[in-house]
Amino acid sequence: MPHIKLFIPGPIEVSEKTLAAMAKPMIGHRSGDFKKLYAAIQPQLQALFYTKQPVFLSTSSSWGVMEGAINNVVGKKVLNCMNGAFSDKWLDVSRRCGKQADGLQAEWGKPVDPKALDAKLATGEYDAVTIIHNETSTGVMSNIEELAAVLRKYPNVISIVDTVSSFSVVPIKMDELGIDVLLTGSQKALALPPGLSLFACSERAFERAAQIQGRGYYFDFLEFKKNAEGSMTPSTPCISQIYALQSKVEEIFAEGLEARYARQAKTNQLVADWVVARGFEFFAEEGYRSKSLTCISNNKGLDMEAVNALLKKRYSAMINCGYGKIKGTTFRISNMGDETEATISELLTWLDDCIKG
Amino acid sequence: MPHIKLFIPGPIEVSEKTLAAMAKPMIGHRSGDFKKLYAAIQPQLQALFYTKQPVFLSTSSSWGVMEGAINNVVGKKVLNCMNGAFSDKWLDVSRRCGKQADGLQAEWGKPVDPKALDAKLATGEYDAVTIIHNETSTGVMSNIEELAAVLRKYPNVISIVDTVSSFSVVPIKMDELGIDVLLTGSQKALALPPGLSLFACSERAFERAAQIQGRGYYFDFLEFKKNAEGSMTPSTPCISQIYALQSKVEEIFAEGLEARYARQAKTNQLVADWVVARGFEFFAEEGYRSKSLTCISNNKGLDMEAVNALLKKRYSAMINCGYGKIKGTTFRISNMGDETEATISELLTWLDDCIKG
């Protein structure tokens, strides 16, 4: 069986270089070698997060930290901004944690609305809010600068922002924007194997956590903080993924952050041009299209499962045929990670060929 | 820098074969390829757990599932059996989850006492109990058959048994013993990279979970059960560690379970013989010594940190110099995983050499 190259929006393709970096022998997680590894990547991670705060490494997928954030900072009631499969689910997860929670629902395909957010927060009912910056299910990137401006009006509301599919695709300036909890995962925009999540917390988030009972242990933000002071994690970390992360951040800074953003904007534009040229439509509202993936309305009623099967057979590649309630009526192409103009252009010619049948 | 071979009790040495298996390209975690991988290893995992129940794969280290178990099955009050650093900590974790919890403390070096357990459970105060089968900090293996016999007298008490450092070292017959939640991690007895935990639940455990509010999502046992029916995990799994697991279970069954148990008993005995021959003492009470690691009282007042540094320098190997409150007064040698009579014998000659100075 040949390897099928993934153009699905996560887990995405992981380079051979990253896989090789991951496959290094173990080290003790309380050893000097681990502490050195942990400390070595901190400055680069802080640069990627645009923060002076420590960046924590959680041995979990992102839902672990997304749930953990609820348990750490929600005292009164959380507002879950919802505009797609993942952000919608966060309301359910908040309630499963036993928290008071309301949803602020936007139509799928639309961004989180700053005015609606403002109106909700003005009620004074909430002490925390969750936002998914880039809804991977719909290909919508909300305007985090506008949303953050609203959030800054409410200093007692702790903001939790998930950036799993936008992190390192566009700059998200945590400290400058005043985001309290910024989190991402390994297997999407960072092009690493799944199993690792990264997050950082503002001082306000730590202060809030200190007041909250029932934070548990595994995702306790204050445990992460305490351990980070000694360049360690609370529990045994996924050392292999951290090796991979080290290799990846070296790569990111060798390319340069601005060059990385520009490359991804360019590959994203190639997909957008193809969508328009072929007479497809974007699922996301104009002005809010993700830069890391494209969610395309299947307005021609193609059998995209069949197209994808051909793509797999002929070219050993794979896109995604929609998620949640828009499965089948949309398809998605990821340009995250290591993709270049050459690889995305090639994919698009393959797609043309497979759509012909 | 040469690689330092780990004889510490976790993370332990991972073979090149396992590392290579881990470094395979990604697959979609909702794809047929992943479901096939998941389903393919189930029968072998069930054989290792001695259970007919599904074996779940949690993208976390073991503390995640240990905490998750508390959140899933403790309704009234949990009894945490304590006889070392990790089991002692479980009481703290239970309370951090907002649960009523008592400790049943045994002296470090001693096993969990079945009679004391019986007396505690007879009060009727508890609806759950935690036990660490093999206390990695003290090298004590409690008698799980005797403890399980006590637990079977109390069908309303859900038992949670951690076997991180004894799983696949000795048979632990989940269904036959009536254990409700059996869990293990990847980085100790299974000789895999950290980041993956495995667990299985009895029907009683699922029934209890169904009655408990605030289970959250990430470690919700009923979510694992539902997803397992489709050969999937609730959240994006650590695919790389699951590749490694697949390779490892193939190896385990190629060797044969009985042969694996016998090999580890033999390598453990080599260490024990060395301890006696060199005039050291065991930290664990006679009759309760772990088969996977040996915790040795430093009764000669050696500078074991210096010995370990020499071991690292001369032989590129590493043991452990004690954990928690017995750091410095004990040292530990692991014989878990792939070690053989040859590799353990070699380590012991190296140790002799380094102790000489």
Q: Where are the domains of chain B?
A: 5-12+256-356, 25-253
Angle at B225 between CA B233 and CA A63, to 5 degrees: 40
Backbone angles phi, psi at A195, to 5 degrees: 120, -5
Q: Which of residues 312-341 of A touch B (CB under 8 A)?
A: 318, 320
Residue A103: strand, helix, or coil: strand
Contact A151, A114 (CB under 8 A): no
| Per-residue confidence band for B325, with pLDDT thresholds at 50, 70 and 90 | very high
Q: Which of residues 256-315 of A touch B (CB under 8 A)?
A: none
Contact B336, B188 (CB under 8 A): yes
Token pair belonging to A236: 């045994």
For A109-122, the pLDDT digits (tens) are 999 999 999 999 99
Mean pLDDT of B204-213: 98
On average, the pLDDT of chain B sits at: 97
Q: Does A62 touch chain B (CB under 8 A)?
A: yes
Cβ–Cβ gap B23/A24 under 8 Å: no
| Per-residue confidence band for A328, with pLDDT thresholds at 50, 70 and 90 | very high
**Nearest CA-CA partner of B50 in B150, B148, B196, B193:** B148
Provide the percentage of residues in chain A whose pLDDT is more than 70: 100
Cβ–Cβ gap B59/A64 under 8 Å: yes
| Test mutation, A19, A26, A220, chain B, max B CBs within 10 A | A26
pLDDT at A2: 86
Please name the member of B25, B67, B217 whose beta carbon is closest to the beta carbon of A93. Answer: B217
- Could you tell me which CATH class the domain A5-12+256-356 is placed in? alpha beta
Token pair belonging to A176: 């400058």
Answer yes or no: pTM beyond 0.95: yes
Q: Does domain A25-253 have CATH number 3.40.640.10?
A: yes
Contact A120, A267 (CB under 8 A): no
Number of C-beta neighbours around residue B217 at 10 A: 21
Provide the percentage of residues in chain A whose pLDDT is more than 90: 99
Token pair belonging to B345: 């014998």
pLDDT at B1: 75
ipTM: 0.97
Q: Does B109 touch chain A (CB under 8 A)?
A: no
Cβ–Cβ gap A20/B22 under 8 Å: no
Gap between the Cα atoms of A276 and B169, Å rounded: 60
Cβ–Cβ gap A28/B13 under 8 Å: no
pLDDT at A223: 98
* B28 CA to centre of own chain: 29
Q: Provide the H-helix boundaries in A152-303.
A: 174-177, 203-211, 221-228, 239-255, 257-277
Mean pLDDT of A134-162: 98
pLDDT at A228: 98
| Test mutation, B236, B248, B327, chain A, max A CBs within 10 A | B236
Compare B2 and A34 and report the one with higher pLDDT: A34
| Per-residue confidence band for B5, with pLDDT thresholds at 50, 70 and 90 | very high
- State the nearest Cα–Cα gap between A230 and chain B, in angstroms: 16
| Test mutation, B1, B7, B37, B59, chain A, max A CBs within 10 A | B59
